Amino acid sequence: MKRFEKKVFAKSVVQYYLNTAHSDKSTTVKHFMEEGASKPGVNKRRNVSLRERKSLLKMGLSQRKIAARHQISRAMVQRIKSEYNIRTNRCITCPKYTENQKKTAKKLCRKLYESKPNKIRILDDESYIMCDPENIPGQKYYNYTDKASEPYIKVGTFKSQEYLEECLQKRLVPLIDKYHQRRNVLFCPDKAVIHYSRICKNWLEAKGIECVAYAENPTNVSQAQPIERFWAICKRKYSERCRTITALSRFRKIWKDISA
């Protein structure tokens, strides 16, 4: 008996019990037994095979694939995992840590989150791009981000004064003033030297923008920085090009289209 048939049958039983049989149970049962109504089936608990349990312990198999392989539902797979205390951890790509970074990464991230839970974090990062598309590395990190401003492209080394003028003054402050309030923002750059130069720190303090202290800023936690996903996507798109770009103006136009 299908699900909708069970609902119709149950409704007819209730109507007969209340209106015709005058709430008499034996009369109702006798009536439907004479009509040949069958007793509803009993759902028996399905035993779990050893093969299914071993599949759950294999790496690289999702619940959907396990359910399709053994022709069972995903809810059944979840029940098996719960009964046999099997836990699934997602494998992610993380950077190579030094011993000191491995000890301090999680500790500093947790401390930063717990000390300022209501702050709006704005990330700042730069990336080197090779003009030859063949030298662009593949995708490394698996986060995501949204484009916030037009890219600033420079050849050579980034200086503190240039970083202050082009990034902080022209891009950071207009972004904060447009969408947030300065007292609610926590500026989180990476630990590059120019980010923590004296003129940059003094300027941010004068503008009332809080910046993460150098000692409290976790190192090499790219998996917690969505901007790394943005770099990976842009570099992958650029690496699909066949021609090497030599003119800087041409590169600026191409990169602007890619990052838009």
Query: What is the pLDDT at residue 226?
Result: 77
Cβ contact 145:225 at 8 Å: no
Residues (pLDDT < 70) of the chain are 1-4, 37-61, 89-94, 128-155, 241-246, 260
Query: What is the pLDDT at residue 142?
Result: 29
Q: Helices marked H in 116-166 — which ranges? A: 160-163
The sign of the torsion formed by the CA atoms of 43, 47, 49, 53 equals: positive
State how far the Cα of 148 lies from the Cα of 140, in Å rounded to an integer: 21
Query: What is the pLDDT at residue 87?
Result: 74
Query: What is the pLDDT at residue 198?
Result: 93
Q: Which phi and psi angles does 211 have, rounded to 5°?
A: -120, 145
**Six-digit token string for 94:** 């993380």
Question: Among 240, 112, 33, which Cα is nearest to 257's?
Answer: 240
State how far the Cα of 85 lies from the Cα of 48, in Å rounded to an integer: 14
State how far the Cα of 59 lies from the Cα of 18, in Å rounded to an integer: 57
Query: What is the pLDDT at residue 204?
Result: 93
Query: What is the pLDDT at residue 206?
Result: 94
78: number of Cβ within 10 Å: 14
Query: What is the pLDDT at residue 22?
Result: 79
Query: What is the pLDDT at residue 123?
Result: 83
**Six-digit token string for 17:** 């019990």
Query: What is the pLDDT at residue 43?
Result: 52
Q: Which phi and psi angles does 46 have, rounded to 5°?
A: -80, 130
Residue holding tokens 């790509």?
93
State how far the Cα of 155 lies from the Cα of 234, in Å rounded to an integer: 18
Query: What is the pLDDT at residue 153?
Result: 67
pTM tops 0.75: no
- Mean of pLDDT over the chain: 76
DSSP state letter for 89: -
Cβ contact 76:67 at 8 Å: yes
State how far the Cα of 45 lies from the Cα of 68, in Å rounded to an integer: 19
DSSP state letter for 118: T
Query: What is the pLDDT at residue 59?
Result: 54
Query: What is the pLDDT at residue 106?
Result: 84
227-239 helix and 248-259 helix, angle to the nearest 10 degrees: 120
